[in-house]
Amino acid sequence: MVLFDDSETSPVLTETTRVVHGLRVPMRDGVELSLDLVRPDLPGPLPVVLVRTPYDKVSSRDGELYVKLAQRGYITAFNDCRGRFNSDGVFRPQADEADDGYDTVEWIAAQEWCDGNVGMCGGSYGGQTQWYAASRRPPHLKAIVPFCSPPSSLWRNEPIFGGCWLVGTAEWAVAMGARSWQLLNPLTMLSEHQPYFDTLPLAAVPGAAGVSSPWWDEMMEHPVRDDFWKRREYEHPEDLAVLNITGWWDMNFPGAPLNFEAMRAGPSAAKQQLVIGPWPHVVNTSRELNGVDFGEEAVIPLYDHVIRFFDRWLKGVGNGIEDEKPVHVFVTGANQWWAEDDWPLPGTEEVPYYFRAEGGLSPEQPGIEPPDSYRYDPAEPGLRAWSLHDGPVDDGPATPRKDAVYYTSEPLTAPLDVVGWVTCRLWASSSALDTDWHVRLTDVHPDGSARFLCRGALRARFRHSFDEPELLEPGKPTLFEFTMDGTGVRFLPGHRIRVEVSSSAFNRYDRNTNSGADNPFTDDTIVVADQQIHHEAGLASAVVLPVVRR
């Protein structure tokens, strides 16, 4: 079945383009941002697709998608974010992108070479800049295509997930410098453990690499979701066409489906699309990831689909894209694309798999069973190196850890499709005033490999609210409910489902020192914690799987 039909893509109109360098775009506060254009050799005015990036606009210009757009009659505009490369001002992550994005869109729309229809495109932070601009509702912004965008809240994914800090943000601070890259090859960033990650407290990590970062220092002063963070959240506009694209192992995964859900709840529901593939943070480049081959359907004509989307919403081409299924998800194991009516998938059933005695995992609730115990020492956090490019890594070689417990199902006798949001209901107790809970879901193959699917995290003090932390009563069994983001997998017969519970996911996330300090970002007091995971009647820990019966 063909789910991505490129037969309606607009034809190539010209292969001749020219670059216009160094346009200056005035912001409302007088700061000027630098903008380059790639203009097709066609009479204007034309629709414009804008890319706003902190990663050097020049390096984006020859991207395959933007070349294709120019050939099909779009001007592509590339904008350095405030304080980056050729733009004036001071870079403060997320803080200025909403107003700057609005001003840039409307400045473009007022130029004689623009026909008044502006779209935006880009990935990662360049996906985030689209949402910030859209949140201010510029009248001429008609469509956006965010690849791998983080979600609205900076406490939902990066730099903070469940109260735990993404350590790689420190390497980002080191690599970005004040205005330009401080790495010979930025593509190597977030791919291996850096010695300065081991520094405590967290606030001192960039300094250990010899870097001074004012915006990092400012963030370290805000250990709860206060107004500093809330001002950096974006709102979803009422009327905008959006094509959200991500991969199951994208470090920003929840952004795309969360933003899709938010926009589907509004008046522009018919203009929303979601694509989730078997990809990491860099999407649609290979059918194989971490030694797992997802088949010939894993790589799709994605850029042609993007062009069709812009054709419809910037040029007004009646290609019928809005009449197609809005959700496309790749289900691993089955190695199939599914075209669906919505996300979460209609008819999804939430099925708890309960932690059981002797490491069992079962849909059957537990009876009288003793808890499992382990000790977490922040000085020895059980390093599991994380890479931006990781996907279904094999957790098998990393197990068993002394500072973790594992729960594994019996081999399945029939296929089980699990597609959607995964959550954890964890009954646990700690000897400490504060600690972290990290949970990983894996697909255990008959050969013993345990292929990573998704993970969740929660700093115990934030179990009720990220705004108002509450320390633990040591030794008291407490319920912790938190997201594990999502997955799309068919567990095949003979495979088993495994859940790992620990108190550290270092080096992906910072270590909780367990001290209960008011600001854990600036505290280096180490407290060893004795942890218990409960699974008995009334204290039944479980991972809740989104099961789809097809």
Q: Give catalytic residues, as residue numbers.
A: 124, 250, 281
What are phi and psi for residue 482, nearest 5 degrees?
Answer: -155, 160
Phi, psi of 529 (to 5 degrees): -115, 135
The CA-CA-CA angle for residues 180, 182, 184, to 5°, reads 110
Dihedral sign computed on CA atoms, order 192, 92, 97, 45: negative
**Which of 447, 359, 449 lies closest to 395 in space, CA to CA?**
449
User: Strand pairing of 241-247 and 141-147?
Assistant: parallel
Q: What is the DSSP string of 487-519?
A: EEEEEPTT-EEEEEEES--TTTBPPP-SS--S-
CB atoms within 10 A of CB 176: 22
Hey, what are 307's tokens? 């062009």
Q: DSSP secondary-structure letter at 144? A: E
Q: Which residues contact 67 (CB under 8 A, 6 or more apart)?
A: 17, 38
Q: What's the burial of 30, exposed, middle or buried (CB within 10 Å: 0-12/13-18/19+)? A: exposed
The residue among 490, 491, 512, 487 whose CA lies nearest residue 502 is 512
CB 484 within 8 A of CB 455: yes
What's the number of CA atoms in the CB half-sphere (13 Å) around residue 247? Answer: 26
13: buried, middle or exposed (CB in 10 Å: 19+, 13-18, 0-12)? Answer: middle
